[in-house]
């Protein structure tokens, strides 16, 4: 096809489309000079909120009929103006239900009022709700009228005053929507204004308010219907200039919290019998934490206090992972909350540690608290050999897992006493998919690092005589790096693979 032929075909297609659109959308007049016994009569009064009549307001009724992928028909049924008392009276013959092809078209009536004769700076206009509406008010009536039906539809168009709305301490939100719901026309309508807040959660916006009418102003996050604060209802007078203030300070204070370290236990989860010997926690002790009110009051079931947040997260700068002790999730129309008021974990290294508790809403930290503590070595890690009373049979292994570290899991054998020597074994597992060689190298390095932190420098030794230094080394395992202090010897051992057990590294420690 030549270019000229293609151009002619395109023009013809566009002309056909235009003719289809013209055919699909039609409108016509169907006015009657006087009402008949079958006519519908619609009456009403157009006033301000104080009852002042509004004269010479053009009022009309149209009938709308639409079909899916079919024609759209508008029939102008009646028109008139309000009199000096604000009264209007419209009459027309009702349309019937139509289904020529077996499917009912969409049918409705549209009551309109032209407010262009009112000063826009003195009256609330349809354009205040939606700029596309400009000055024409429309009320859609989604039903058909019966013959001879009389209906009264009063319309209220309030006088306007711009009111300043101040927001304070809405630190969880960057953008909000301030809304004012008022009586407008025949029903309630809502004016909305967007507002960007500063870093402190403060901001101001001017919003139209109805004079001598109840205004209901509310604040919601952008793209959400959830109110951030209790709505305020008030009546505006012409001389009122006081701003409407929403202060979120009370809500912030009501949900504040404190992080508390409330106890520490031996590695097997039991309280120490003689707490005077354990005035400070040690590595491999189990540390318990709580979320409390700011004054330290602990209420384990007080979940309502925290539902201002999306989540409350516990973390430590030392560890890669976090623990959510509170989480609120919205699934459709349901809001599901999960809450843990107290929890605990293990820490493996001496020195000062810091844990953080942060409450988040909309990605912002609303409240935060921290707890710092020092872990001090005893004879070895959390053990004081002379005070070890939890003596178990060999082979009983205690798993120890730090909730803030998703890769490490130690297994610590409770200390046993054989011929006057107390001992324990420690190995480490990793969560993940590492190849065998990488896993073994990682185990060996991690265990060596653990001993260097707690027993000082590595000690050189004669491998031929090492089994005489330790009383209970496994004869089938290979000895590695040795560390010791005044009361403990500890050595990294290599367990070779067998038909019954995988290859791995572990620590064997004995009291001197």
pLDDT recorded at residue 228 = 85
pLDDT recorded at residue 392 = 54
Residue 182 and residue 191 in contact, taking contact as beta carbons nearer than 8 Å: yes
Asked whether the whole model's pTM tops 0.85, one would answer: no
pLDDT recorded at residue 434 = 80
pLDDT recorded at residue 17 = 46
Each as own residue / partner, the long-range contacts of residues 116-125 (CB below 8 Å, 24 or more positions apart, any chain) are: 117/56, 117/57, 118/54, 118/57, 118/157, 121/160, 122/159, 122/160, 123/48, 123/157, 123/158, 123/159, 123/160, 124/157, 124/158, 124/159, 124/160, 124/182, 124/184, 124/191, 124/208, 124/210, 125/160
- Check residue 253 and give left, alpha or beta (phi > 0: left; psi -120 to 50: alpha): alpha
pLDDT recorded at residue 20 = 43
Q: Which residues of the chain have pLDDT under 50?
A: 1-3, 10, 12-23, 102
pLDDT recorded at residue 302 = 92
pLDDT recorded at residue 78 = 97
pLDDT recorded at residue 425 = 93
pLDDT recorded at residue 189 = 97
Residue 246 and residue 195 in contact, taking contact as beta carbons nearer than 8 Å: no
């Amino acid at each position: 096809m030549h270019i000229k032929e293609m151009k002619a075909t395109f023009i013809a297609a566009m002309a056909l489309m235009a003719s289809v659109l013209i055919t699909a959308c039609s409108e016509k007049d169907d006015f009657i000079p006087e009402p008949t016994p079958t006519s519908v009569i619609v009456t009403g009064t157009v006033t301000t909120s104080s009852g002042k009549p509004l004269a010479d307001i053009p009022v009309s009724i149209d009938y709308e009929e639409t079909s899916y992928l079919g024609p759209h028909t508008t029939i102008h049924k009646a028109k008139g103006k309000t009199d000096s008392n604000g009264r209007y009276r419209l009459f027309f013959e009702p349309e019937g239900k139509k289904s020529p092809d077996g499917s009912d078209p969409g049918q409705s009536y549209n009551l309109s009022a032209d407010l262009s004769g009112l000063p826009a700076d003195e009256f609330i206009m349809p354009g205040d709700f939606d700029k596309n509406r400009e000055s024409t008010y429309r009320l859609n009536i989604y039903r058909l009228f019966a013959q001879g039906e009389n209906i009264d539809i009063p319309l209220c168009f309030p006088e306007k005053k711009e009111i300043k709305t101040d927001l304070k301490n809405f630190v969880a939100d960057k953008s909000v929507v301030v809304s004012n719901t008022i009586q407008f026309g025949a029903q309630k309508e809502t004016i909305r204004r967007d507002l960007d807040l500063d870093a402190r959660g403060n901001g101001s916006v001017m919003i139209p308010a109805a004079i001598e009418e109840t205004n209901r102003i509310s604040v919601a996050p952008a793209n959400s219907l959830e109110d951030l604060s209790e709505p305020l209802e008030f009546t505006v007078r012409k001389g009122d200039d006081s701003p409407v203030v929403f202060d979120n300070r009370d809500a912030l204070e009501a949900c504040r919290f404190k992080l508390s370290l409330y106890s520490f236990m031996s590695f097997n989860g039991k309280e120490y019998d003689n707490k005077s010997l354990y005035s400070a926690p040690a590595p491999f002790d189990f540390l318990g934490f709580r979320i409390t009110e700011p004054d330290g009051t602990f209420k384990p079931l007080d979940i309502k206090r925290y539902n201002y947040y999306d989540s409350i997260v516990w973390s430590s700068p030392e560890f890669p992972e976090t623990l959510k002790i509170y989480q609120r999730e919205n699934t459709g129309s349901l809001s599901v909350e999960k809450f843990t008021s107290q929890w605990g974990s293990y820490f493996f290294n001496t020195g000062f540690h810091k844990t953080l508790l942060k409450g988040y809403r909309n990605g912002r930290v609303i409240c935060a608290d921290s707890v710092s503590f020092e872990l001090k070595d005893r004879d070895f890690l959390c053990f004081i050999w002379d005070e070890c009373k939890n003596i178990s049979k060999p082979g009983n292994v205690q798993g120890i897992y730090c909730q803030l570290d998703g890769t490490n899991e130690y297994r610590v054998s409770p200390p046993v006493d054989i011929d006057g020597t107390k001992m324990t074994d420690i190995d480490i597992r990793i969560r993940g998919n590492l190849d065998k060689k990488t896993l073994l190298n990682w185990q060996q390095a991690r265990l060596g690092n653990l001993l260097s932190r707690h027993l000082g420098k590595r000690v050189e030794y004669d491998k031929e005589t090492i089994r005489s230094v330790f009383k209970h080394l496994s004869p089938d395992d290979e000895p590695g790096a040795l560390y010791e202090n005044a009361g403990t010897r500890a050595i990294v051992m290599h367990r070779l693979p067998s038909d019954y057990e995988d290859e791995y590294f572990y620590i064997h420690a004995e009291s001197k």
